[in-house]
Chain A
């Protein structure tokens, strides 16, 4: 089992819809969770982080964390073509705040 798993996609949504990106992790003791956006040919860009169960909202983005289910998600409301990118889920495992573990990423396409 991979430490951080994401559906590679591609995930395609129409403009204005809600995009839902999902991530599961294997280490139950993981503490901090991150979502990075990576445009083609560019570097990962941090867009959200969360460490408590529940929802965290920032503009059109909402991160959701469920530690009991070892599940973290990212919702993008009112999706725009400019949101088309690969979204990487990242986790610090239990007791280790140095070695950030990344998922393989989900490619999102927002169609006009």
Chain B
């Protein structure tokens, strides 16, 4: 079975542009997480969904960030407008809520560079 799929793998854009990151969770998983990783701040949870419903977006840094999950197999994280400080690796992770340990499985990440 395929793991979590993310696209694009790399994104270079200019300040002020809109950026959309995409994620396909593991089939059958019902929770999806968006993380951001930087050297300075480590791995930070931005938002998560249970059964396609956003549960906690308190980690979203500001209104420029938004996330959607229109169905069980697709989610997007959008940054508009993007800023250089948004440069980071963005990971999507999924899990089956209700498994014994609720372990999360990560996608390969999108490396975002905002010039």
Contacts and interface: CB of A to CB of B under 8 A. Distances in A.
Interface in A9-58: 32, 34, 36, 42-46, 49, 51
* Most central of A32, A43, A92 by chain B CB within 10 Å: A43
A43 B102 contact: no
Contacts of A76: none
Given A42-B108, A43-B91, A44-B91, A102 B103 contact: no
Interface of B: 31, 33, 42-43, 45, 48, 50, 55-56, 91, 97, 101-109
Nearest to B33: A100
B101 A99 contact: no
Contacts of B33: 100
Assign chain A's interface to a size class: 20 to 34
B43 A49 contact: no
B77 to A, nearest CB: 15
Contact of B108 (A36, A43, A46, A92): A43
A93 interface: no
Contact of B43 (A42, A44, A92, A97): A44
B52 to A, nearest CB: 15
Contacts of A42: 108-109
A88 B45 CA distance: 14
Contacts of B101: 32, 34, 49, 51
Contact of B107 (A32, A43, A99, A100): A43
Nearest to A49: B101
A104 interface: yes
B102 A92 contact: yes
A42 B6 CA distance: 13
Contacts of A34: 101, 103
A43 B37 CA distance: 10
Nearest to A4: B42
A98 interface: yes
Nearest to A100: B104
24 contacts: A32-B101, A34-B101, A36-B106, A42-B108, A43-B106, A43-B108, A43-B109, A44-B43, A44-B91, A44-B106, A45-B106, A46-B103, A49-B103, A88-B43, A97-B97, A98-B31, A98-B48, A99-B45, A99-B48, A100-B45, A100-B104, A102-B42, A102-B43, A103-B42
